[in-house]
Structure 1
């Protein structure tokens, strides 16, 4: 059984706003990159109240977008 990878994209994107830091961290690594998610990733990276692992995941994902 095969699953279309794009079917998970909306869930990954929504995870960027989740209340659980583990979900935000995972979403940061998987979300599709477009204007809204890039903006949210930048907010997660720069938020001093955010967990360090979420900040790091967001920063890494933004670095991937630049490459």
Structure 2
């Protein structure tokens, strides 16, 4: 899995951090998403997919790798 974020689209909702704090963080100054791990381990994939679904701005997506 490869995680991609679009910081321009991000509205700072923080749902991604709640869903997968090992993968996402927010900038202190404006709350914009920061990607901590673009290729998270398999045990975090479900949490990342939840973060994708919860993102109010659709600023996060994943590419599944075979």
- What is the TM-score of this pair, normalised by structure 1? 0.41
Structure having the larger proportion of residues in strand: 2
Relative contact order (alpha carbons < 8 A, sep ≥ 6): 1 or 2 greater?
A: 2
- What is the TM-score of this pair, normalised by structure 2? 0.41
Larger of the two Rg values belongs to structure:
1
